[in-house]
A and B are shown apart, each in its own frame.
Chain A
Amino acid sequence: MHQPISPNGGELPRWLVLVGSAAILYHLAAITLPILDMKSGPWPGGLAEAPAFAHSLRDISTVHGRYLRIAHSYEFPSNRPSDLPGVEFEVRLKDAKGNVIQTLHFPDPHANLWVRQRQDLLARNLAPDQPLEPPRAEILAAPGQKLPTVSFWALPNELGPNAGNPPVSSFPENTPLHLQTMEYNNVPRYRQLMRPTDLALVLERSYARYLCRKYNAASAEVLRHTREPVSPAVLFGGEMPPHALEDLVASFGEVSP
């Protein structure tokens, strides 16, 4: 076997080369597996599962991912520009009586470039939404436990006393959606429901609490404005779709610190 030269002029011991080579191979496996252990797509049939071998070997990357923090999938949301809506949000800070005392807009056009960019990152994390699959069969609660609940976007009063039926009244355009939480069994099936991701909900509540503390507000309501990506139809001689540059407003509801 070829022996490399050490800095001191002698040959590196063979055992050291072998141990070093084994460590290198382990390291390369640990940084490659998280890349492979990702769902791919969307394909025509939806997202495809990660290869089984990569999923079953994922524990190899635990130290690199959790402690050394160098194992990453290198899948970035910014690689999907046509799937990501533009997101901005406003926060209505309220006093104890529920009166709006201040309205803040994010990303704040008056903030410095760096803070504004981080606010922009925060805003992007509030979208996109994901479809909510209705239950295929009725779920029974375990003894002593409550039935699971789920939050999704709904029109105001859409799910009032007539829950489960299509809305009987129409709403004016730009009526904000609001976040409706109900037991999973009661999720309506007459239309495709969308819901924010769990991480978006955590982020929204956390940021609202932070603003309440900062501005001494009793509560805060976060309203998300999303706008679909600008269609490139004009490049192909088409027209801009109607409402292309209009916002969809959705209220996450009030949060108290």
Chain B
Amino acid sequence: MKKPPALSQPETRNRFFAAWTDFWFTPSDPIALSVLRVLAGIVFLYWLLPFAGDLQAFFGLGGWFDARAYAETSRLKELPPHLFTWSAAYWCGNNSTLLIVLYWLSLVAIVLFALGVATRLTSVLTWAAVVSFTANPAVAYDADPFLQMLAFYLMLGHLFLGLQRPGQSPLALVLGPTRETWILGGVWPRRCGALPPSIASNLALRLLQIHFAIAMVATGLHKLQTSAWWSGLAPWFYLHPPFHTTLSEIRAYAPPNAEMSLNLYSLTTYAVLAWQIGFPTFAWRPWLRPLLLGGAAFGWLSTALAMQMPLVGPVLFVLCLAYVTPMEWRWLENKLAHLPLLDRLCGHESASPARQGVKGGTRVGAITVGNRT
């Protein structure tokens, strides 16, 4: 078999730079960022709405974690730095009216952001809301860092999305391209255009993808520091929480059920570890999309049912959708356009960048880096 000619050092270097710049700086169809924005908005509402009845308790300085507690923690050593920084809720102090106003304004900002209204402004407000309402150490939660990650990169993308468009009014520069990002654009296609391919969209998604992949690998490696994961028994502990397990339930594992359960638990444990630690090897490969999304769906179910963590699953699933390419979203959009009712929502396909033949589309079924296949 004939070997390909070896590349010289400058050629190798040029290839590396080309791959680097393509990966980060290639303009891409903003549909991926828009879909993620809508889904993230739904997740943010799912997270924030249930607090509505207990605002003062959860976020007030006279609540579960009061002003005195913040003063006491400031004197402690070795606290997680991400917990004790800033929050708009601190400004409200003990004033419950201010807190209520802040909370509902935050919800309005999230809804408007999800709908695509004034995204340059509402993306910042949404991020500030997410950061502010995850600042209470009393109820800190595994999902919080992922909510913050999602909100931050969506803000980053929408801050710069459409910024280079010529002839914008100062107000449009501040508020962002509402006409093009408005989620119901298909219903009123005449009022809506389509955003051209955007470097900001690609860059924000790439950063999100890399950050999430690092987080997945780190979490997987952290699990390897505990005996429960090495021995394949982690699911046992999640499925048998101490206060909700009876002796009769445990005795049901007596032989011959024990061996089958042991095999099942260890197989599940190692599948989870392999998925997390091997995440970067399949996340960017469209032909391995079922592995990515199937694993995310399994994680959703298992964290909700076995670990009683209803929020972690949806957040991780949405983060996994950040790897879906614009062309895959366009393909899905075209499929949905044939369904009744949804055809109107997808009605502006003729104006979509993919149809206009612009760059940024990626081929389904191939490994893709930016525009390269």
A interface with B by C-beta (< 8 Å): 1-8, 12, 17, 20-21, 24, 27-28, 31-32, 35, 40-42, 65-76, 78-83, 85-86, 88, 112-115, 117-118, 120-122, 125, 198-199, 202-203, 205-207, 209-210, 213, 227-230, 232, 234-237, 240, 245
Q: Which residue of chain B has the shortest Cβ distance to A209 in the bound complex?
A: B66
In B223-238, the 8 Å CB interface with A consists of 223, 225-229, 233-234, 236-238
Segment from B113-121, B141-149, B283-291 that makes contact with A: B141-149
Contact of A122 among B24, B64, B152, B247 (CB under 8 A): B64
Interface residues on B, range: 35 or more
Contact of B81 among A66, A198, A206, A207 (CB under 8 A): A66
List chain A residues, Cβ under 8 A from B76. Answer: 198-199, 202
The CA of A58 and the CA of B165, in the complex, are separated in Å by 39
The CA of A237 and the CA of B258, in the complex, are separated in Å by 8
Interface pair B242/A230, CB less than 8 Å apart = yes
Given contacts A70-B152, A227-B243, A236-B258, A79 and B222 within 8 Å (CB-CB): yes
List chain A residues, Cβ under 8 A from B66. Answer: 206, 209-210
Interface pair B26/A4, CB less than 8 Å apart = yes
List chain A residues, Cβ under 8 A from B18. Answer: 2
B interface with A by C-beta (< 8 Å): 14, 17-18, 20-22, 24-27, 50-51, 53-54, 57-58, 62-66, 68-69, 72-73, 76-77, 79-82, 85-86, 131, 134, 137-142, 145, 148-149, 152, 164, 196-199, 203, 207, 210-211, 214-215, 218-219, 222-223, 225-229, 233-234, 236-238, 240-243, 245-247, 250-251, 253-255, 258, 261-262, 265, 307-310, 359
The CA of A150 and the CA of B103, in the complex, are separated in Å by 40
Interface pair B219/A74, CB less than 8 Å apart = yes
Q: Closest approach, in angstroms, between the C-beta of B145 and any C-beta of chain A?
A: 4
Q: Closest approach, in angstroms, between the C-beta of B351 and any C-beta of chain A?
A: 16
17 additional A-B pairs beyond A2-B17, A35-B214, A42-B225, beta carbons within 8 Å, are A1-B14, A2-B22, A4-B25, A5-B359, A6-B27, A7-B199, A21-B20, A40-B225, A66-B82, A76-B142, A81-B234, A82-B228, A83-B228, A122-B64, A203-B69, A230-B250, A240-B247
